[in-house]
Amino acid sequence: MSLATSNRDGGRTSESGHLRAIQKVITGEVLTGLNVSQRSAGANMSVDVAIGDAIIPRADGTYGHPAWNDAVYNQVIATADVSNPRRDIIVMYIDYATTPSTGVSNNTNGVVKIKAVAGTPAGSPADPTDAAIQSSVGASNPYVKLARVRVAAGASSITNSVIDDLRTMAQALNNGGWQSTKPAALTYTSFSSTTKSGVIATNTDLRATVQAGHRIAFWQLTGGWKYGIIHAITASTITVFFGQSYTLVNEALYLGKTSGEYAPMGFDADPNIWKVEVYDTSVRQGNTPTKNVWYVPSGSTCNITLDPGKYTMGYEAGYRVHGVGTSTYVAGRTTISTTTNTETDTQFSSAEGSDQPTGGVMTLNTQAKRQKIVTVASQTTYRLLGQSDCQSTMGTTNGFEANARIYAYSAYIAI
């Protein structure tokens, strides 16, 4: 094994030394332009290749050659077959047989070439194989495909309708779907095991590249890799929802990275992880309540607290209303509220009822449920409330029976 660097203090470096880093950080080939279209001066048996830039990789993957076109390039298409259509491939390649000239700026002496590699005419034509293209451009010459030209039998001109774009546009190497947060340093600010959220400080404003809904990951000495969903971001802080699997601790954060993908490498998109929920398995009752007054059923533990972010929130509750006396119906309501005695969002409210004989006794048992997306601006507690809506004095009402549940999933996870 040998170790090397390029041009250290006047030292010489091969093209491999100069260019290998480019191939390590991008995937794809065309950086800009180089799209193929019909001849702009009037359609004929040629095509135009637009101004643009590419990295043409060597077959062994060690490095790629920067190549560009700074003026529209017109490429002739061979005469059409009189009986059958064919498919031609437009390529850009590096001609290793052309000796580079140190006297020519940017090697404009024919090192970079564009060519139309003609396919074989047939009733159902196919593209030239990669082997055929390689043979056409030269056995060792690296190339990239720009377009396919479908040449009809007897064609006298090429129009845009028969040109298919084959460019592979370059982008940053995937790295499992993650991008480093550098140069931003991540610093612990706070974490709440109740809300399953934490705040991380950044010394660089990341809002140009990161937004709510993006995934974030980092490594801590305690617990190793931690994954979360960004729920809010400012110029200097990120509010992160960690769900059920991860705990942010007050120590250094290393190897920070973010992703706009739904499930980048290592991120578990199981919705059961990305939630806060509470079950209340006891019967909670409110005796002789006042009609149309909201109550937290006595002893209820069905409430959750959420930090800033967007959530899919809802509830499910077994609900019982017991009516006696002169009432002609029994009815009740449930809701999620940010207070202990008022309805704060009608979209969370559910109403159930039934007629009963005058002077009779009736118990209504039903299941109430509602769900919607909420945006939380500041830390907020949501409670499950109940209400009686009957015409007479009630006995036992507002009983939230076994398996009452209130929950909030991150809105950036499908459930």
Boundary of a domain, candidates 172, 198, 225 = 172
Based on the domain organization, do 106 and 24 belong to the same domain?
A: yes
Q: What is the pLDDT of residues 356-367, one digit of tens each?
A: 555 556 666 677
Check residues 163 and 390 and name the one with the higher pLDDT. Answer: 163
Q: What is the pLDDT of residues 148-193, one digit of tens each?
A: 999 999 999 999 999 999 998 887 777 788 888 877 889 999 999 9
Based on the domain organization, do 185 and 241 belong to the same domain?
A: yes
Integer Cα distance of 414 and 409 in angstroms: 9
Which stretches does DSSP call E strand in 134-173?
143-151, 163-165, 171-172
In percent, how much of the chain has pLDDT > 90?
A: 61
Q: Partners of 114 in the beta sheet? A: 92
Integer Cα distance of 101 and 137 in angstroms: 21
Q: How is residue 378 written in tokens?
A: 């500041």
- How big is the chain, counted in residues? 415
Q: Are strands 275-280 and 30-33 parallel, antiparallel or unpaired?
A: unpaired
User: In the predicted model, what is the mean pLDDT of residues 232-246?
Assistant: 96
* pLDDT at residue number 394: 37
Based on the domain organization, do 131 and 222 belong to the same domain?
A: no
Q: Is residue 95 part of a domain?
A: yes
For residue 197, give the amino acid letter.
S
User: In the predicted model, what is the mean pLDDT of residues 229-243?
Assistant: 97
Check residues 7 and 136 and name the one with the higher pLDDT. Answer: 136
Q: Is residue 161 part of a domain?
A: yes
* pLDDT at residue number 113: 96
Instruction: Supply the DSSP symbol for 150.
Output: E
Based on the domain organization, do 159 and 16 belong to the same domain?
A: yes
CATH of residue 279's domain is 2.60.120
Confidence of residue 1 (pLDDT cuts 50, 70, 90): very low
Check residues 397 and 344 and name the one with the higher pLDDT. Answer: 344
Q: Is residue 361 part of a domain?
A: yes
Contact status, residue 400 vs residue 284, Cβ threshold 8 Å:
yes
pTM of the model: 0.62
Q: Partners of 241 in the beta sheet? A: 197, 229
User: In the predicted model, what is the mean pLDDT of residues 114-138?
Assistant: 96
Q: What is the pLDDT of residues 290-342, one digit of tens each?
A: 778 888 877 778 899 999 999 999 998 877 666 654 456 667 788 999 999 99
Nearest CA among 70, 75, 78 for reference residue 32: 70
Q: How is residue 65 written in tokens?
A: 């050659």
Based on the domain organization, do 353 and 377 belong to the same domain?
A: yes
Q: Is the pLDDT of residue 288 over 80?
A: no
Based on the domain organization, do 108 and 228 belong to the same domain?
A: no
Based on the domain organization, do 166 and 28 belong to the same domain?
A: yes
Q: Is residue 380 part of a domain?
A: yes
Q: Is residue 105 part of a domain?
A: yes
Based on the domain organization, do 159 and 286 belong to the same domain?
A: no
Boundary of a domain, candidates 155, 172, 189 = 172
Q: At 387, is the secondary structure helix, strand, or coil?
A: strand
Residues with Cβ within 8 Å of 265's Cβ and at least 6 positions away in sequence, in order, are: 176, 177, 178
Q: Which domain holds residue 387?
A: 275-410
Q: Is residue 36 part of a domain?
A: yes
Q: How many domains does the chain divide into?
A: 3
Residues with Cβ within 8 Å of 184's Cβ and at least 6 positions away in sequence, in order, are: 202, 203, 204, 206, 256
Q: How is residue 8 written in tokens?
A: 């250290």
Q: Is residue 5 part of a domain?
A: no
Strand order in the sheet with 237-241: 179-180, 254-259, 215-220, 224-233, 237-241, 197-202, 186-192
